[in-house]
Amino acid sequence: MKTLSEQACFGGVQGFYSHSSTETATTMRFAVFQPPQATAGPVPVLYYLAGLTCTEETATIKAGAQRLAAEHGLMLVMPDTSPRGLDLPGDDDDWDFGSGAGFYLDATETPWARHYRMDSYVTTELRHLVNIRFNTAPDRTGIFGHSMGGHGALTIALKNPDIYKSVSAFAPISSPMQCPWGQKAFSGYLGDDRTSWRNYDATELVTNGKRTAPILIDQGTADQFLAEQLKPEIFEAACMSAGQPLILRRQDGYDHSYYFIQTFMEDHIRHHAGILKGL
């Protein structure tokens, strides 16, 4: 692991790091905020997954989470959203597929399968690296995210409830098999067999028996992607039918931006802190 930079922040340390990833066969970058409490002992760790076109810097700079994480004694980990620098055919042709759009899945189609393994990267490789290099309490881990990252947080938590004890999302792509973003990504990364897509669709996972901790979702009613891409009502109905605890808050007048995320970040940090610190 290479330290790219470290700065004092709210009594803790905001750092940016890189390492050679075996999962993606590339150099991956990630950000970690170490709260001041980490100097005294292990602290709960909370992973934030960003959305389309974003990097490890986006939420670190824009979300306003460090002050709240310092207050509650949570470590924040923010990975990049895809492998970089591969120059694969079509890797940089579209903003919603390829570079910056890894969709937190393990691709099976050529040429993506060797490198686009963001599911395994986040849940296994990065998590193990962070637990070794930083003062974390591995049994108190949570995950949240925005848009594509909200999709990732939901699916990863539902598939790994023994690892991720708390979960939330801002405006997640909650039924990707039924929206253009998801259909484009899944067909490109996973191929035409839609049965393989179900492992990366939160609505399908809940419908087919996967369960996790109570989920908090905030969704703006003025979100420009709400009707076509996000479809929270489908996920809400699936959770209600399956008995998966869900708090879905529709926030009047808010859009898809980080101004929306900043506004409700405190509620999400408190949601995770209440669960992780109570374990």
Beta strands in 83-223 (DSSP E): 136-146, 164-170, 215-220
Q: Is 128 a catalytic residue?
A: no
- Both tokens assigned to 249: 């808050």
Beta bridge partners of 250: 219
Tell me the C-alpha distance between 206 and 245, whole Å: 11
Active site residue 82: no
Which two structure tokens, joined as six digits, stand for 209? 């028996």
Given the residues 256, 268, 271, 272, select the one marked as catalytic.
Answer: 256
Catalytic residue selected from 223, 268, 271, 272:
223
CB 260 within 8 A of CB 59: no
Residues 188 and 88 sit within 8 Å (Cβ to Cβ): no
Buried b (16+ CB within 10 A) or exposed e, 248-266: beebeebebbbebbebbbe
Surface-to-core class of residue 8, CB atoms within 10 Å of its CB (0-12 exposed, 13-18 middle, 19+ buried): exposed
- Which helix (H) or strand (E) segment holds residue 266: the answer is helix 258-276
What is the Cα 203 distance to its own chain's centre?
16
Could you confirm whether 256 is annotated as catalytic? Answer: yes
Q: How crowded is residue 143: how many other Cβ atoms within 10 Å of its Cβ?
A: 29
Question: Of 147, 166, 168, 174, which one is the catalytic site residue?
Answer: 147
CA distance 4 to 57: 12
Three-state SS at 55: coil
Task: Report whether the peptide linkage leading into residue 111 is cis, meaning its omega lies within 30 degrees of zero.
Answer: yes
| DSSP conformational letter for 179 | S
The span from the CA of 227 to the CA of 244, in Å, is 23
The catalytic residues are 147, 223, 256
